Amino acid sequence: MGRLASCFLDSLAAMQLPAIGYGLRYQYGIFDQEIWNGIQIERPDCWLLNPNPWEFRRDGLSRHVAFRGSIPPSEDPMHHFLALENYEEVRSIAYDYPIIGFPAQDRSFSVVTMRLWSTKESPRNFALQRYNAGELGQAGENTSLTDVLYPNDHHAAGKRIRLKQEFLLVSASLQDIVERHFSRGGGLDTFADKVRIQINDTHPALVIPELIRLLMIKGASLDHAFAITKTSASYTNHTILKEALEEWNEERMMDLLPRQYRMIQHINMQFCKEVRASFGENTEKAQAMSIIGEGQIKMAHLLLYGTHKINGVAKLHGTILKEEVFNDFFQLYPDKFCHVTNGVSHRKWLLQANPLLADFITERIGSSWIHDFSQIIELKRFAKCPKAKSAFAAIKKKNKQRLIQWLREKSPIRDGKGAVIGTIDPLGEEALFDIQVKRIHEYKRQMLNLLHAARLYLDIKKERKSPPIKRMILIAGKAAPGYQLAKEIIHFARILSHKINNDPEVNQHLRLAFIESYNVSKTLFLIPAADLSSQISLVGREASGTGNMKMAMNGALTIGTEDGANEEMRWAVGDEYWPFRFGMNVEEVQAKKTSGYSPSAIYQNNPIIREVLDFMVSDALTDHPAEKQCMEHLRKNLLEGEVESAPDPYYNLQDFSAFYETQKRVEMLYQDQDKWNEYAIMQIASMGFFTSDRSIQEYVDHIWDTKACPIDPDVLQKLQRDISPANKPHGPI
Ligand SMILES: *Cc1c(COP(=O)(O)O)cnc(C)c1O
């Protein structure tokens, strides 16, 4: 989500749209990952150690945010939403980062601001009285509010500090937005016309009660303030995984944010009235849809009622929101629902990440694709051109060599104490580079990839002959620190890679590597070198995916399920050039769910799978007790399940055979390099739709109704004169 927001800021700036991106200035961002003898170790990422010349501290833009306190008794019910006494005040300071838009063809360009809040630099946030009373931890709580990012991916944190962070972001940013509007002569009557607030997942859901409160302070009635809020705000949903949908405990909300809690109660009463008016006295419906229920506040429900538009991030995801996850809400407010398929910045992921390929494209179709990525379709003319194909092959080879060198020099393998005992030694560039890089999660099914790698290993051992192609499997990604099973999947990857890479009968044909600490810098080595992009999530779970788009833009072929944006990529590329689709579709998963899924029956009946599952726990893989325990647990998860969960909840075994057969077709096509390169060029040429420029244009057209706002050339010229060294009385700075 953070990377997606970065691509969106890049596009907003390049398209000269008026926008600000708000966030928190964490001292420690997502952790750095080290793998100590197969175990993930989290290390702090100290990205602020060195001064950042692009960061501008704005002391004039300090905002005060109130937590806790009590609501004084009053006859006027409106006071319950506004008045507060004995509260904690937290001061946040803004840091601005200019996001410089790629220049337009007339060389004009625009700059968008990313504004991040920090509570670190306000000494008054330190609660000296608490410190003196010996409450050392609590004394620094507000000073350290923006210290650490919660690294959970697709899993809600449910922590008090997290709620404080979310409200800090919301309140400081909304105060900023409201003050800017009013200080420039705007009023309540123009707010809804002038201001659009895109709520990125449920984390800033408190925008709804807080914006109502701030507008009431400006003189709006509650109903008017709510109407303005609904018109200004819209909500992007990023996931349907239940464990990721945020809910906050009522008592916690009441304690930390008493006024916002009362406002949510009020909103919920109004909402339940609307539900009853539409569905009659259907109490089951009202209970299911209620914003507050069983002591929990459902943040997605608050947003579904409190905004005018909710969007999914791919077509399939939008459909699932309407037909399944939020079907009740869809029946009530059908016009609120839409989807905007995600995109990625082709300037970041092609022009910057792969300069050789960018030149290859420009030499053939000119440079207008950089401004208008729909032009990339012109490249189709070269898909069957022998010269273009061999030029493309040479570029892919260079990118693979660059990755190989980087792996040999920079990708450590560590022992159980963290000491570097070697580096990854990959196969040469003639091998198929089969890449799966993304956060580690059961739904993304790195497990399926590993089961396949184990199967290839057994095949080579059994047949004692060379497989049709050489294959270098690369996996990378971080696991949420508390997500035990994800960490065990990483452990499995390292156990298996140790086996495969050290077996002289196998390691000339097949190698497997798990690369430490996947992040954006590393994508720049990995993505341009990919031949095969693994996008193998269980259908219905990956809302969109963006790694799929990045790799296809760089000429990788996708092996993928019919999930997220994969399907839209297939429509763009065309079935003929999308040969590696596999696995159950949404209906088949649904049918399996109802008819009952038995992975142990698959194990009994299918020797291909049985051998792999038995290999997992055999001494042939490992005889180390801790490693064996990990493998036994993973196998148990697939065949028997846990106390609270069914066996193989992500259907790895169900989809295995289709995956294995499809990988055989990958091997066939890869043997025909000429054909493979034709397919690869077709992928690049078909990615025009998947630029974030197009996504942003759809937000403009369907949700925001905003206009580009280019810089006035006269104003710019005057500015340039003013800052030119010649006009400085003391000469150049
Ligand atoms: C694009 C990107 C992702 C998202 O990848 P998916 O395959 O869509 O999950 C994750 N991490 C980094 C560093 C990325 O650049």
| Mean pLDDT, range 308-335, rounded to an integer | 97
Quote the pLDDT of residue 447: 98
Between 257-266, 283-292, 496-505, the lowest mean confidence (pLDDT) is in 283-292
d(CA 641, CA 650): 11
Q: Please state the atom number of ligand 1 nearest to the C-alpha of residue 535.
A: 7
Reading the block at residue 114, the tokens are 């990313």
d(CA 614, CA 606): 12
Mark whether 439 is an active-site residue.
yes
Taking the centre of ligand 1 as the mean of its atom positions, its distance from the CA of residue 546, in whole angstroms, is 6
Mark whether 164 is an active-site residue.
no
| Mean pLDDT, range 541-554, rounded to an integer | 98
Report residue 180's pLDDT band, with 50, 70 and 90 as the boundaries.
very high
DSSP 521-590: HHHHHHGGG-SEEEE-PPTTT-S--SHHHHHHHTTPEEEE-S-TTHHHHHHHH-GGG-TTB-S--HHHHH
Which one has a higher pLDDT value, 222 or 80? Answer: 222
d(CA 500, CA 113): 49
Dihedral of the CA atoms 540, 543, 549, 551 (nearest 10)?
Answer: -70
Quote the pLDDT of residue 729: 55
Closest CA to 696 of 306, 112, 23, 94: 112
Q: Tell me the residue type at 542.
A: E
Which one has a higher pLDDT value, 132 or 650? Answer: 650
Q: Please state the atom number of ligand 1 nearest to the C-alpha of residue 344.
A: 1
**Contact yes or no for 173/22 (Cβ under 8 A):** yes
Res 732 pLDDT > 50: no
Res 143 pLDDT > 90: no
Closest CA to 209 of 319, 121, 299: 299
**Cα radius of gyration rounded to whole Å, the chain:** 27
Could you say which of 339, 346, 439, 487 is catalytic? 439
Residue nearest to atom 11 of ligand 1 (CA): 438
Reading the block at residue 103, the tokens are 């220049």
| Mean pLDDT, range 383-411, rounded to an integer | 98
pLDDT tens sequence across 648-702: 999 999 999 999 999 999 999 999 999 999 999 999 999 999 999 999 999 999 9
Phi, psi (deg, nearest 5) at residue 135: -90, 75
| Mean pLDDT, range 702-707, rounded to an integer | 96
Taking the centre of ligand 1 as the mean of its atom positions, its distance from the CA of residue 302, in whole angstroms, is 28
Quote the pLDDT of residue 730: 53
Residues 517, 567, single domain; the answer is yes
Quote the pLDDT of residue 716: 80
d(CA 687, CA 554): 10
d(CA 2, CA 153): 11
Mark whether 444 is an active-site residue.
yes
Could you say which of 546, 561, 662, 691 is catalytic? 546
| Mean pLDDT, range 214-243, rounded to an integer | 97
Its pTM stands at 0.96
Taking the centre of ligand 1 as the mean of its atom positions, its distance from the CA of residue 438, in whole angstroms, is 5
Given 314, 339, 364, the domain boundary residue is 339
Q: Please state the atom number of ligand 1 nearest to the C-alpha of residue 545.
A: 8
Strands (DSSP E) found in 266-415: 292-293, 296-298, 309-312, 337-339, 412-414
Quote the pLDDT of residue 610: 98
Answer yes or no: is 174 within a domain. yes
Given 339, 357, 375, the domain boundary residue is 339
Answer yes or no: is 708 within a domain. no
Quote the pLDDT of residue 719: 81
Quote the pLDDT of residue 501: 98
Res 731 pLDDT > 50: no
Eight-state DSSP code of residue 148: B
pLDDT tens sequence across 572-587: 999 999 999 999 999 9
Q: Candidates 241, 536, 546: which one to mutate for ligand 1, based on the most atoms within 8 Å of Cβ?
A: 546
Q: What percentage of the chain has pLDDT greater than the value 90?
A: 88
Residues 275, 417, single domain; the answer is no
Mark whether 236 is an active-site residue.
no
Q: Which helix (H) or strand (E) holds 316?
A: helix 315-320
Answer yes or no: is 716 within a domain. no
Residues 272, 367, single domain; the answer is no
Residues 315, 361, single domain; the answer is no
Answer yes or no: is 652 within a domain. yes
Answer yes or no: is 709 within a domain. no
Residue nearest to atom 1 of ligand 1 (CA): 547
| Mean pLDDT, range 344-371, rounded to an integer | 98
Eight-state DSSP code of residue 70: B
Quote the pLDDT of residue 139: 76
Answer yes or no: is 455 within a domain. yes
Residue nearest to atom 9 of ligand 1 (CA): 438
Q: Domain count of the chain?
A: 2
Quote the pLDDT of residue 618: 98
d(CA 436, CA 455): 17
Answer yes or no: is 732 within a domain. no
Quote the pLDDT of residue 135: 77
Residues 380, 281, single domain; the answer is no
Taking the centre of ligand 1 as the mean of its atom positions, its distance from the CA of residue 131, in whole angstroms, is 42
Residues 480, 568, single domain; the answer is yes
Residues 352, 329, single domain; the answer is no
Residue nearest to atom 15 of ligand 1 (CA): 520
d(CA 492, CA 480): 16
Residues 335, 350, single domain; the answer is no
Res 733 pLDDT > 50: no
Residue with tokens 């054909």: 675
* Site residues for ligand 1, CB cut-off 6 Å: 3, 438, 518-520, 523, 545-547, 550
Residues 60, 206, single domain; the answer is yes
d(CA 531, CA 524): 15
Strands (DSSP E) found in 208-288: 233-236, 247-249
Residues 51, 129, single domain; the answer is yes
Residues 627, 605, single domain; the answer is yes
**Contact yes or no for 614/629 (Cβ under 8 A):** no
Dihedral (CA of 454, 460, 466, 468) sign = negative
Residue nearest to atom 4 of ligand 1 (CA): 547
Phi, psi (deg, nearest 5) at residue 412: -70, 150
Mark whether 462 is an active-site residue.
no
Residues 571, 599, single domain; the answer is yes
Answer yes or no: is 696 within a domain. no
Taking the centre of ligand 1 as the mean of its atom positions, its distance from the CA of residue 48, in whole angstroms, is 23
pLDDT tens sequence across 442-462: 999 999 999 999 999 999 999
Which one has a higher pLDDT value, 18 or 105? Answer: 18
By 3-state DSSP, what share of the chain in percent is helix, strand and coil, each rounded to 5? 50, 15, 35
Q: Is 585 exposed, middle or buried (0-12, 13-18, 19+ CB in 10 A)?
A: middle
pLDDT tens sequence across 53-72: 999 999 999 999 999 999 99
- Bridge partners of 732? none
Indicate the average pLDDT of the chain. Answer: 95
| Mean pLDDT, range 301-310, rounded to an integer | 98
Given 300, 318, 339, the domain boundary residue is 339
- Identify the domain containing residue 536 by its residue range: 346-690
Mark whether 196 is an active-site residue.
no
Res 198 pLDDT > 90: yes
**CATH number of residue 316's parent domain:** 3.40.50.2000
- Bridge partners of 338? 311
Q: Please state the atom number of ligand 1 nearest to the C-alpha of residue 522.
A: 13
Quote the pLDDT of residue 728: 57
d(CA 272, CA 653): 43
